[in-house]
Structure 1
C-alpha cells in the first residue's frame, strides 16, 4: 500500500534544475557586489575619479531594477528556458565588454547591459524555481535562488577582490564572464515549458494596480533602502563609529548572516505557511539590528551580532515577499516577482543616493543606521497596515467567488 501521508518530495531531476538556476544567481550576486571592491583599481586604470567610476554601480543597479518589469512583460509569451538563456547571454556579453572597456562611457554602457541581463534573469529564475518545485517546496526553492546570490556575495566577492590584486580588475570580470557562460550552458539542460500567452495590456495594468502587489513592492523597496543602501556606506560608518578602516571582518559577518538567512528562510516558510507573519518578524529584526549598530561599534565582537542579524534579515526578506506575490498573482508570477525585484534594487539605488546626500549634508556616518532603522520601521508599519488590509480584501473576494460546497451536495 502506498503511503499517502508522506510529504511530497521534489523529483531529483527538478532539484538539479533548481541548483542550475541557483548557480546563475551566484554569478549575479558576485557581479552585483564585487564592483564596489574594485572601484579604486577601475578608477586608476581608466584615469577617472572614484566618484565617476562609482557610477558603474549605480548604472548596473538602476538597469537591474528597470529591466525586470519591462522585459518580463515583453517576453511573457516566451518559454522560461528561452527567457533565462536570453538573460544570461546579455549578462555575459555585458561583463565581457566591461572587461574590455578602456573608457568610462564604454564601461558604463557595458555595466548597463550586464544589469539588464541580471534584472531579467533574477525574477524569472525565482518564478521558474517555484514552478518546478510545486507549492509544498516553493519556499525552499526560492531560498536556494536567494542563497545563490548571497553565497556569491560572501564567497565570490572576497575571492574576486583577491583575484584582482593578482590579475587586475579585468581578471575578475573575465571570471564572472566565465561563470555566466557556465550558467548559460546549464540553462540548456532545463526542460522547455509551454509558453504562457502574453498578458493583455489591461491585465498588465491590473497587476500593477493590485493593492496587495503594490503594498508588498513598497515594503520591499523600503527594505532595500534600509538594508542594501546602508551596505554601501559600511566603510564610512566603521571609520566614524569604530575608528577603524578594517572592513573585511564586518563584511564577512554581514555576508555570513546573509547566507544563513537566505538558506534557512525557505524551510521556515514551508513549515509555517505564514509568509506575512515572517515578513513582520524580519522587519522587526532589521530595525533592531540597525538601532544597535552605533552602540555596538566600539567592540568588534559586539558589532558582529547586529551585522549578522542585519545580513540575515536583509537577505531573508525577499523569500516570503516573493511567496506572497506568487500567491497574489499565481497566473502572472514572473511579472509580479519582477516588480518585487525592481523594488529591491530601486531601494538599493535610492538608499545609496540618500545615504551619500545626508552624509554630504553634514550627518555623521555613525548615525546613519538610525536613519535606515526608521525606514525599516516604516516598512513594518506599512506591512502591518496596508498589506494586511489588502490581503484581507483579497481573501474576502476569494471567498465570495468560491463555489459553495453545500450547493453541490443539495439534491
Structure 2
C-alpha cells in the first residue's frame, strides 16, 4: 500500500496542476500583463497535450519497465512545472504547460495500471481507487488550497509547491517502486477501431461536449465571479464547486449500482449541468445564492463519467479498457477545446459575466446528442445489462 500511496501522490500533483491554473488566471494575467483570454490558453495547452500524450506515448513506450516510464514522466512533469514557476512571458508559460501536460498524460494511466499490478487480485479495485482518488482530491481540494496559497506567496509559489510534490513522487518511485514490467497497452490502431464502434463514438462525443462545458467555464470562473459579482477572492466558491464534486463522485456509484440505469443518470446529469450554468449570471449578484448552482454543477460534472464508463463497458465488453481510455481522451480534448473557446468568446467581445450562457449551450448540445445519437445506437444494438458486463468497471478506469 505504501508504494501505491506514492503513485497516488503523483496523481495528486497531476490533479492539482491540471486545474489550479484556472483559479490563478486573473493573477497570472496581471503579472504577465496579458489578457485573460490569452492567459487562459495555458489551461488549453495542458489539457490538450494531456489528452494526446496518453494514447501516443503509451504506444511509443510500450514494453518499457513501469518504473522507468513513470520516472521519465515525473521528470518531465516536475521540470516543466519548475519552468512554469519562473516563466517571465506568456510563450514560455505556454510551452512549459504543454510539457507538463505531456508528463501528466504519460503518468496517469500507467500509474493506475501499475497500482493494479501491485495489488492482490481481491484488492485491485481498491488500489486503483487510491491512485484515481489522488487525482480527484488534488483537483477538488488542492485547487482552492493552491489559490489560497497564491494570495500569500504568489502564483509562482503555488507552482513551486506542485514542483516539490512531483519531485517527492519521483524520488519515491525511483527508490521504492519494484521492477515490474508494464502490461502492453493497446495499439493505436486498436484504439481508433474501438472509437468507430457505433455505440462507443456517440458516448465519447457526449463526453467531449460535456468537457467543453465544464472546463470551458471553470477556466474562467474567477473572471466570471469578478465581472458579474465583484468577487476578488474566488476561494470559497471554488470550495463550493469542489465539495459538490466530491459528493457527486461518491454518490453516483451507489445510485448506479442500485438502479442500473446509466443512460437515465447521464440524462439527469446533463440537464443539471445545463440548468446550473445557465442560472449563474442571474444569481451572481446574490453571493450566497451562487453556492447552490456551483455545488450542482460540480457534483454533476464529476459524476458524469461513472455512468459513461458503464455504458462504454457495455458497448465494448471485449475492449472495455480501450473504450474507457478513449473516452478519457475525449473528456480532456473537450476540456482543452472549452478553455480555448472561452478565450475566443472573451476576445470576441463576450463579457466574462456572459460566459455561462455560452458553456451551458455546449452542455445542451451534449444533452441533445445523448437523447438522439446515443439513444438511437442503444436501440439498434439492444440494451442488455448483465453481471458479466459490469464486472470490468474498476479495471476499466485505468
SS in 1 for 2:285: coil
Counterpart selection for 1:343 from 326, 330, 354: 330
In structure 2, the partner of 1:90 is: 76
In structure 1, the partner of 2:393 is: none
Counterpart selection for 1:176 from 159, 162, 166: 162
CA shift in 2, pair 1:47/1:364, >3 Å? closer
SS in 2 for 1:298: coil
Counterpart selection for 1:215 from 190, 202, 218: 202
- In the TM superposition, what are the counterparts of 1:24-63 in structure 2 within 5 Å? 24-39=10-25, 42=28, 52-63=38-49
Moved more, 271-280 or 305-314: 271-280
In structure 1, how many angstroms separate the alpha carbons of the residues matched to 2:202 and 2:113?
A: 19
Q: Give the structure-2-normalised TM-score.
A: 0.79
In structure 1, the partner of 2:239 is: 252
Residues 154, 255 of structure 1: 8 Å contact kept: yes
CA shift in 2, pair 1:280/1:302, >3 Å? same
CA shift in 2, pair 1:41/1:77, >3 Å? same
CA shift in 2, pair 1:190/1:265, >3 Å? farther
In structure 2, the partner of 1:237 is: 224
Q: After TM superposition, give the deviation of residue 318 of structure 1 in Å.
A: 2.2
Q: After TM superposition, give the deviation of residue 114 of structure 1 in Å.
A: 0.5
1:380 maps to 2:367: yes
In structure 2, the partner of 1:290 is: 277
1:306 maps to 2:316: no
- In the TM superposition, what are the counterparts of 1:90-239 in structure 2 within 5 Å? 90-126=76-112, 147-187=133-173, 195-197=182-184, 199-200=186-187, 202-239=189-226
Residues 221, 344 of structure 1: 8 Å contact kept: yes
Unaligned 5+ residue runs, structure 1? 1-12, 400-411
Residues 77, 100 of structure 2: 8 Å contact kept: yes
In structure 2, how many angstroms separate the alpha carbons of the residues matched to 1:341 and 1:99?
A: 28
Residues 136, 270 of structure 1: 8 Å contact kept: no
CA shift in 2, pair 1:153/1:204, >3 Å? closer
CA shift in 2, pair 1:259/1:361, >3 Å? same
In structure 2, the partner of 1:65 is: 51
Residues 227, 314 of structure 1: 8 Å contact kept: yes
Moved more, 390-399 or 59-68: 390-399
SS in 2 for 1:226: helix
Q: After TM superposition, give the deviation of residue 331 of structure 1 in Å.
A: 5.9
- Can you list the C-alpha shifts for 1:56-85, whole angstroms capped at 9, x where unaligned? 333222212221222233334446555444
CA shift in 2, pair 1:36/1:367, >3 Å? closer
In structure 1, the partner of 2:341 is: 354
Residues 62, 185 of structure 2: 8 Å contact kept: yes
Q: After TM superposition, give the deviation of residue 240 of structure 1 in Å.
A: 4.7
- Can you list the C-alpha shifts for 1:326-371, whole angstroms capped at 9, x where unaligned? 5545665554344223222222222223233334444454443233
In structure 2, the partner of 1:279 is: 266
Unaligned 5+ residue runs, structure 2? 387-398
SS in 2 for 1:211: coil
CA shift in 2, pair 1:77/1:333, >3 Å? farther
CA shift in 2, pair 1:327/1:383, >3 Å? same
Residues 73, 335 of structure 1: 8 Å contact kept: no
- Can you list the C-alpha shifts for 1:70-111, whole angstroms capped at 9, x where unaligned? 223333444655544433232122212323445544433222
In structure 1, how many angstroms separate the alpha carbons of the residues matched to 2:206 and 2:293?
A: 21
CA shift in 2, pair 1:142/1:327, >3 Å? farther
In structure 1, how many angstroms separate the alpha carbons of the residues matched to 2:265 and 2:122?
A: 17
In structure 2, how many angstroms separate the alpha carbons of the residues matched to 1:80 and 1:373?
A: 41
Residues 143, 262 of structure 1: 8 Å contact kept: no
Residues 146, 319 of structure 1: 8 Å contact kept: no
Residues 37, 342 of structure 2: 8 Å contact kept: no
> How many corresponding residue pairs?
384
In structure 2, how many angstroms separate the alpha carbons of the residues matched to 1:372 and 1:350?
A: 11
In structure 2, how many angstroms separate the alpha carbons of the residues matched to 1:210 and 1:136?
A: 32
Larger Cα-atom Rg = 1
In structure 2, how many angstroms separate the alpha carbons of the residues matched to 1:300 and 1:32?
A: 27
